Amino acid sequence: MEALQYVHDASGRLCKQVMGESLSVLGNIVIFCHYEDEYERLKQIQAGLITDETIDGRYFKLKTPIVFDESNGVTGATYNYLYIRQPDPWRSQVGDLDFYLAPDKYRHLKSRLQKGEKIPGARIFPRDDLDMIELFDPDVDVLVYVRPVTLDA
Q: pLDDT tens per residue, the chain (153 residues)?
A: 999 999 999 999 999 999 999 999 999 999 999 999 999 999 999 999 999 999 988 999 999 999 999 998 899 999 999 999 999 888 899 999 999 999 999 999 999 999 999 999 999 999 988 899 999 999 999 999 999 988 764
Q: Name which of 141, 138, 113, 137 is nearest 125 in CA terms.
A: 113
Q: Give the chain's domains with CATH numbers.
A: 2-147 (3.10.180.10)
b/e per residue, 95-125, with b = 16+ CB within 10 A?
bbbbbbbeeeebeebbeeeeeeeeeebbeee
What are the C-alpha distances in Å from 147 to residues 26, 31, 141, 152? 9, 19, 20, 12
Segment (H or E) for 3:
helix 2-19
What are the counts of helices (DSSP H) followed by strands (DSSP E) for the chain? 3, 8
Q: Please, are residues 81 and 27 in contact by the beta-carbon 8 Å criterion?
A: yes
pLDDT in tens, 126-139: 998 889 999 999 99
- 65: enclosing H helix or E strand: strand 59-68
